[in-house]
């Protein structure tokens, strides 16, 4: 029976993400991705020249979303620390499974070159939104703790839209953002 899929590239990305999440980037071969789709490895190579190209294609929307989120926050006059943290949490959560698959595998990070610098850039820009143009060493240290922890908690929550498996999706966001505000030594309300 012929395949009924219409967007093979999207199917490849979806299957690769599932396998990367299960086995890691390094532990997943292009052959396994092709087999998971029921296509030949040659058909996979038609769409992506290498596993690195596939991963870069998968990560591009996440990076664009993070850049867009931070840029939009910077363009909003009078953005509050709470709003900035909520927006960043939402962005990290939207891409939770991909973040998990990539960050857990140092080979994936090495293949992606600019991912880590962009994550640090987002953190720096959020720090300046919250504390101003010249943050102190103390504020920088608190931001590493707060923003890094917020990002990790959002990633832990996964890609799910709405409530997580415990039915606490919205509550988890509030809890994490309030914790980040406390870590930044800012009022939680």
Nearest to 53 by CA among 12, 21, 94: 12
> Residue 131: which pLDDT band, with cuts at 50, 70 and 90?
very high
pLDDT at 5 over 60: no
Q: Where are the domains of the chain?
A: 8-183
Mean pLDDT in the chain? 87
Class of domain 8-183 as given by CATH: mainly alpha
> Residue 99: which pLDDT band, with cuts at 50, 70 and 90?
confident
DSSP string, the chain: -----S-HHHHHHHHHHHHHHHH-STT--HHHHHHHHT--HHHHHHH-SSHHHHHHHHHHHHHHHHHHHHHHHHHSTT--HHHHHHHHHHHHHHTHHHHHHHHT-HHHHHHTTTHHHHHHHHHHHHHHHHH-SS--HHHHHHHHHHHHHHHHHHHHH-S-SSS-TTS-HHHHHHHHHHHHHHHTT----
The per-residue pLDDT for range 9-32, each reduced to its tens digit, is 999 999 999 998 888 888 999 999
């Amino acid at each position: 029976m012929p395949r009924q899929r219409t967007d093979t590239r999207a199917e490849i990305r979806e299957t690769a993400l599932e396998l990367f999440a299960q086995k890691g980037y390094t532990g997943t071969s292009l052959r396994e991705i092709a087999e998971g789709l029921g296509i030949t490895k040659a058909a996979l190579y038609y769409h992506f020249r290498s596993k690195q190209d596939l991963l870069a294609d998968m990560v591009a929307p996440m990076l664009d979303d993070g850049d867009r989120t931070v840029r939009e926050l910077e363009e909003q006059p009078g953005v509050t620390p709470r709003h900035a943290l909520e927006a960043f949490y939402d962005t990290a959560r939207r891409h939770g499974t991909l973040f998990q698959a990539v960050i857990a595998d140092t080979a994936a990070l090495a293949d992606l070159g600019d991912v880590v610098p962009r994550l640090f850039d987002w953190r720096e820009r959020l720090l300046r939104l919250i504390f101003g143009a010249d943050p102190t060493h103390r504020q920088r240290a608190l931001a590493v703790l707060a923003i890094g922890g917020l990002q990790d908690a959002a990633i832990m929550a996964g890609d799910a839209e709405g409530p997580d498996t415990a039915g606490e999706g919205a509550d988890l966001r509030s809890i994490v953002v309030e914790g980040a505000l406390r870590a930044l030594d800012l009022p939680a309300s």
